[in-house]
Structure 1
Amino acid sequence: MAGYSSRLRSDIARWRQAGLIDAATADSLVRDVDANARQSLSFGSILAMMAALLFGAAILIFVAANWEAIPRLARVAALFAVILGGYVGGAVLKTRDHAAIGEALWVVAAAAFGASIALIGQMYHLSGDEASALVTWGAGTALAAVALRSNALTVTAIGIADAWLFLKGFDYYSRSEFPHAFIVMAVVLFAVSFWTRSQPARHLIILSLLFYVVLLAMDHATLPVAIPLVIVSVALFAAAVLAPEPVDRIVQLGGRLPLHALLGFLTGLAIIQFELADESTYNSGFAIASVVALAGIVAAVVFAGRESRGLRWLAYLGFAFELAIIYVVTLQSMLDTAGFFLAAALLLGVLAIVIIRVEKRMKGPAIGGATA
């Protein structure tokens, strides 16, 4: 946001100097930019949330230490006091225009709720495992997010769901079925994010779904999982580029759906390449996947790179990864590697020349028309 604000201020100054807007309009625009920039990024809010996370971690560790010197009733009463005080105090502060501190107190209360689940289960030897406790904790936090329309609690609930996915996906404690129920959790939390107006939560859910797909590919057949991921990512990218405004009104990701689609595309192709790497000597599947990956990166930059700096950086990282994996896999034949890089370089060079000439021709009539 800071980069956008600084660029917009420079544009306003340039428009004023060129006589496109008057001084009063320029001052009004600058004041509006400053007001929205302060509202969207407050270091006090960030510090308050960090303090809440540290305080919540302290509560969880304190409970895990098994405080034998404190009576059971006192332990439970203390945790419930923190829960009640966090939710009520946060609500009061929200009504008094202290939204950041109020949200931070709600996060502390959610952490205390998770600690209470662990403590009560430990004291009374209730049946169940850590994954079940996480489900209960996440459900309670999601309900609190809905009741309070809290952005921070929505993100916290997604973080708890991710922890559950990690435990079940890697079978950290015991062998069990694959956690397909995470799809249901993600759909519910995605719907909750619209009610709580939490755009960060939607971004986090999409990243979590990519993590789920990676775990699914590791646990099940690789290609039947990775190929649909690539196809769906391409379809989402095309929809976001061809109809950006209608699509963003539906998903409400701030225009960043192409970035997520490119990440999904690269993830799916990376899974395919790792699967075909050992067979690269015997068939051309790895080479085809590499060509598709490079072509997809170029296409993403051409069609959406101008509007998104994050997408450009992701494309650069993806390009570097592709060069590295191609080199490592084909290391046994340096001549083949050199030939592949030479062909890719020539193809990209020709494509760059064509794109540059097309862009110049497109800009020429527009400038001429504006001058006339």
Structure 2
Amino acid sequence: MFDKSYRQRLEADLAQWEADGVIAPAAASSIRKALPPLAPGINIAVVVAIVGGLLIAAAFLAFVAAHWTEIARLLRFSILLAGMVVAGGLGAWFASTGRDVLADLCASIGAIIFGAGIALVGQMYHLGDDFAGGMLLWSTGAFLAALLTGSRGALAVGLAAASIWTCMRVYDAPDALHLQFVAAWLIAAAIAFAWHSRAAAHLVAVAAIPWWVATSLRFDVDGAQPSFVLANGAALLFGAGLAIAAAPSPRAQRLGSVLSIYGALSLAVVAFLEVTTVDDVFRLRTAPVAAQPPWAVLCGVAGVILALASAGLTRRVGEVLAACAIGLVLVAAPIWPASAGGEPWFAYAALLLAMLCLVVSGVLDDVRPRIVAGWLGIAGVIAGITWAVKGSLLRRSAFLAAAGLIAVVFASALNRLLPRAER
């Protein structure tokens, strides 16, 4: 909450209120004294030091790579081990002197060198049959480094390695869900919660996407469109984020708000994909659209329930509309097979209404990323409807015109019903 942008806005507001006589100078001074000190930022010297360190590391790696075949196996391993020790030692020294950014960078470099060490051992002793297992080992080591050092960079390395690991496992065994990644993701989410770090929350939210993408493209989903499976994942991420943010804990609020932002953006992307991939613009499946996997449907239903539960706790109308947006995107999926003989007008209407609900939800709750996601979703859905291959373009234009008129009537009704202060 007490980040630099917030403090700048607060300082400007305090100066304005003091100038207008709203608060006394003593009250403004008391507010400023009550605020905790800002964490030191990244100055020019730190940036130059980071660039210099990266150049030295790149030069070292280039030198080793140029003489790689001439270096004995034991010496290769010793070089990488020494690199981890040096990175850890420098990180500890930077941390003791209060240079947290450089300490985080050193921990990240150490985690990367650890992965290189795993690859080297596998190459030297011909252990390359299980690349996914190597990625799991790398991810585990990076997670341990993140726990020991509090490094956001090491957490990023661990999540990246875990994402590659799960994609490999899904490719190797498409007939089974790779639930082990879910356990690893929950561990990373617990770390982000314990750190109360927005950067870590962003990393965790991004890491949830590769698993859903890889799972939606599994070969055993007979004829089902990946966008339908992704819709359930976006629903779960959005609803769970809202529910977590409804908790009284500031840590939960920070983590949940970030998860809900990525959930809203994912929902908008999925709405665009449903139109473009199902309606013959881009065809990802040649078989007829099949029923969605039951586990995916349960995830989507859970997302709607969690969003409604959050709305019940926070008493925010915007979150009710967010739950409606989630439900409408999910409802659009089974409408497409029912409209196989003609245009899926009801599916189009459901997606447009879903994105409109998302925009209004963000406006009512004053959540700008949700507003942006809704507008992007509206633009994507309209573009998909307009440029779809099958069907009459004249009918599509009539449908869009009717939808626009309904939206104008709805806006007029809202303008009359809402109090002037809330318009």
Same fold judged by TM-score > 0.5? yes
Query: What is the aligned partner in structure 2 of residue 322 from structure 1?
Result: 381
SS in 1 for 2:127: coil
User: Residue 233 of structure 1 contacts residue 265 of structure 1 at CA under 8 Å; is this kept in 2?
Assistant: no
Are positions 1:68 and 2:69 aligned together?
Answer: yes
Question: Among 8, 12, 15, which residue is 1:13 paired with?
Answer: 15
Asked if the contact 1:297/1:315 (under 8 Å) is kept, the reply is yes
Q: Secondary structure at the match of 2:126?
A: coil
Residue 184 of structure 1 corresponds to 183
- C-alpha contact (below 8 Å) 1:56/1:111 kept by paired residues: no
List runs of 5+ in structure 2 lacking aligned partners. Answer: 281-288, 290-335
The correspondence for 2:229, drawn from 205, 225, 232, is 225
Rounded to whole Å, the distance in 2 between the matches of 1:22 and 1:239 is: 39
CA distance in 1, matches of 2:237, 2:15: 40
Q: Give the residue type in structure 2 aligned to 1:316.
A: W
Q: Which residue of 2 aligns with 1:263?
A: 265
State the alpha-carbon separation in 2 of the partners of residues 118 and 66 from structure 1. Answer: 17
Distance 1:41 1:337 in 2: 52
Residue by residue, what CA displacement relative to the aligned partner does 1:54-90 show, whole Å, maximum 9, x if unpaired? 7777777776667112222222222111101111221
TM-score in terms of structure 1 length: 0.79
The aligned residue for residue 348 of structure 2 is 290
Alpha carbons of 1:227 and 1:158: their partners in 2 closer, same or farther (altered >3 Å)? closer
Q: Counterpart amino acid of 2:212?
A: V
SS in 2 for 1:212: helix
Hey, which of these two has a bigger chunk of helix by percent? 1
Structure 1 unmatched runs, 5+: 365-372
Give distance in 2, aligned partners of 1:110 and 1:283.
55
Match of 2:278 in 1: 276
Within 5 Å, give how 1:245-264 maps onto structure 2.
246=248, 249-250=251-252, 252-253=254-255, 255-264=257-266
- Residue in structure 1 matched with residue 404 of structure 2 by the alignment: 345
The aligned counterpart of 2:121 is 120
SS of 2:396's equivalent? helix
CA contact (8 A) 1:90 1:106 kept: yes
Aligned 8 A contact 1:139 1:157 in 2:
yes
* 1:209-228 per-position Cα deviation (integer Å, ceiling 9, x unaligned): 23322222222233762453
C-alpha deviation, 1:163, in angstroms: 2.8
Moved more, 306-315 or 332-341: 306-315
Distance 2:65 2:132 in 1: 16
**Counterpart position of 1:208:** 207
Give the Å deviation of 1:189. Answer: 1.7
Amino acid at match of 2:160: G
Provide the residue aligned with 2:368 in structure 1.
Answer: 309
Distance (Å, rounded) in 2 between the aligned partners of 1:64 and 1:163: 24
Would you say the 8 A contact 1:217–1:225 is kept in 2? yes
- Are the equivalent residues in 2 in contact too, given 1:107–1:156 (CA < 8 A)? yes
Cα-Cα RMSD: 3.7
Is 250-259 or 94-103 further displaced after alignment?
Answer: 250-259
Percent identical among aligned pairs is: 26
Q: Secondary structure of the equivalent of 2:156?
A: helix
Superposed counterparts of 1:91-130, under 5 Å = 91-130=92-131
Contact (CA 8 Å) 1:131, 1:168: kept in 2 or not?
yes
SS of 1:329 mapped into structure 2: coil
Give the whole-Å Cα distance in 2 for the aligned partners of 1:74 and 1:183. Answer: 38
Query: Does 325-334 or 26-35 show the bigger shift?
Result: 26-35
SS, match of residue 257 in structure 2: coil
The aligned amino acid for 1:310 is P
- The structural deviation recorded for 1:128 is 3.2
